[in-house]
Amino acid sequence: MSKTKKEIKLFNKWSFDGIEVGDITLESYINLKPIIVPHSAGRHEHKRFWKSSKVSIIERFNNRLLSPGFIGSKIKGHKSSFNSGKKSKLLRSIENAFTLIELLTKQNPIQVLVNAIINTAPREETTKIAMGGISYASAVDIAPQRRVDLAIKYLVQAIGARSHSNVKQFEENLAQELILAADNNQESRAVKRKDEIERIAVSAR
């Protein structure tokens, strides 16, 4: 008798089957390779841009939350990031948040995270151009790789801001921000940030 291959699920709970990337331009940059524990021990550091092809999008999101001082530098009065250096602890928090997302939305939390990234990825931003001693802002299109990077950054900043001086648990704030961003809701701080960046770019055309 041939043994059936067991399906690989995130935290042995959520399947990667049927996860769709709504933006075709970002398909190659959102890694949805099935993985149980999103921890690759930094293998992507060996080559430039391997973070997109070799690292799960869940691990990239987790790593961004771990950036030392990243959240603290964006929030007044907060001196360090959440659980900085404690990846296993933060992975448990993400697992709890994903469980909460599943209970509240009845959807696969991996799909909710992907939708949140797509909805918070800006398409246009401004860059400074200097000419003859005069500098001015000009609108430029954003590369797909940078779009994903910025989306993760805005989500992490929004989660940090939502968690600061809040009586709710970190997992609740994480789940709430992802759900709002996945619905493209204006109550999401990350969606507001993306819209602000694009609005400034439109005025700089």
Give the chain's mean pLDDT.
Answer: 84
Instruction: Please list the alpha-helical segments (H only) found in the chain.
Output: 50-54, 57-66, 87-105, 109-119, 144-163, 170-182, 189-203
pTM for the full model?
0.85
What pLDDT does 40 receive? 80
CATH of the domain at 40: 1.10.455.10
Residue 166 lies in a domain: yes
Residue 195 lies in a domain: yes
Residue 133 neighbours by CB distance under 10 Å? 5
Residue 109 lies in a domain: yes
Residue with tokens 């070799």: 54
The span from the CA of 32 to the CA of 22, in Å, is: 13
Instruction: Give the pLDDT confidence of 77-116 residue by residue, as tens digits.
Output: 444 444 455 788 888 989 999 999 999 999 999 999 999 9
Domain range for 129 is: 9-203
135 strand-pairing partners: 130
Residue 1 neighbours by CB distance under 10 Å? 3
What pLDDT does 104 receive? 94
What pLDDT does 39 receive? 84
Count of domains for the chain: 1
Tokens of 71: 């959240």
Residue 3 lies in a domain: no
